[in-house]
A and B are shown apart, each in its own frame.
Chain A
Amino acid sequence: ETGVTQSPTHLIKTRGQQVTLRCSSQSGHNTVSWYQQALGQGPQFIFQYYREEENGRGNFPPRFSGLQFPNYSSELNVNALELDDSALYLCASSFGLNPSLGVADTQYFGPGTRLTVL
């Protein structure tokens, strides 16, 4: 058990809808990263938040957005859902000392949210 929790476990939406996924970080961690894992593939980096600021973004469109709260929990929001958004969404927390130094802190993953878009 990593101490990283995600909700909900499963979610079914229809195309065009909006969805919010939630993540609670491991105690003491100030950095949250979100990943999308399509079936049969490795996780793909969406973005990272460090101390409530976006700290990097992968190759995902702006309709993927996020927030990090003062208690370091986080939300992933996806607008205008598309069928290809169906995936397992993983949240990972870490303790970031200074991301600009290029140090990759060990990331601890939650169990994920399985999103199905119909």
Chain B
Amino acid sequence: AQSVTQPDIHITVSEGASLELRCNYSYGATPYLFWYVQSPGQGLQLLLKYFSGDTLVQGIKGFEAEFKRSQSSFNLRKPSVHWSDAAEYFCAVGYGQNFVFGPGTRLSVLP
């Protein structure tokens, strides 16, 4: 069965520091991969997606993610975190009509 794991439940970084959020997936075919961000009490906003092609994808708000097939990973990165990036981040794998989401990583940003 398809599954997504996000090993880090909660990450705290200082403003201006770099960030990497980990995502591993289990899927038998070519995955469609997504990162979404959710602010408290809000819906999910799409940050970026990978369908095919270049394995390094750029998204909104300065985020990027790299697809590594050999590691079944799709980690999210940002070179310099802003206080407004504090939120919950979800990795998802899409197949057919279904999205399977990971449990999320909560990001806190210290001033």
A103 and B43: CB pair below 8 A? Answer: no
Q: Mark B92-103, 1 if CB is under 8 A from A, else 0.
A: 101111111111
In the complex, are the beta carbons of B97 and A111 less than 8 A apart?
A: no
| Nearest CB of chain B from residue A10's CB, rounded to whole Å | 10
Interface size class of B (residues with CB under 8 A): 20 to 34
A-side contacts of B44, CB under 8 Å: 43, 90, 92, 109
The distance from the CB of A117 to the nearest CB of chain B, in whole angstroms, is: 18
Chain A residues closer than 8 Å to B29, beta-carbon distance:
102
A31, B96: Cα distance in complex, Å: 12
Q: Count chain A CB atoms within 10 A of each CB in B42, B44, B49, B102 and give the residue with the most.
A: B44
B residues in contact (CB < 8 Å) with A: 4, 29, 32, 34, 36, 41-46, 49, 90, 92, 94-104
Q: Is the CB of A41 within 8 A of B103?
A: yes
Q: Is A58 part of the contact surface with B, judged by Cβ < 8 Å?
A: yes
Contacts of A48 in B (CB 8 A): 97-98
A46 to B16, CA, bound (A): 39
Verify if A11 is at the interface (C-beta below 8 Å from B). Answer: no
Q: Contact at A41–B104, with CB atoms within 8 Å?
A: yes
Residue numbers of A with Cβ under 8 A of B are 2, 4, 6, 31, 33, 35, 40-45, 48, 50, 55-56, 58, 90, 92, 96, 99-100, 102-112, 114
B-side contacts of A40, CB under 8 Å: 104
**CB closest residue in chain B, given A112:** B43
Contact B97 A43 (CB under 8 A): no
A-side contacts of B49, CB under 8 Å = 106
Tell me which residues across on chain B come within 8 A of A55, comparing CB atoms: 97
Let me know if B42 and A99 touch, CB within 8 A.
no
Tell me which of A2, A42, A104, A114 contacts B101 (CB under 8 A).
Answer: A42
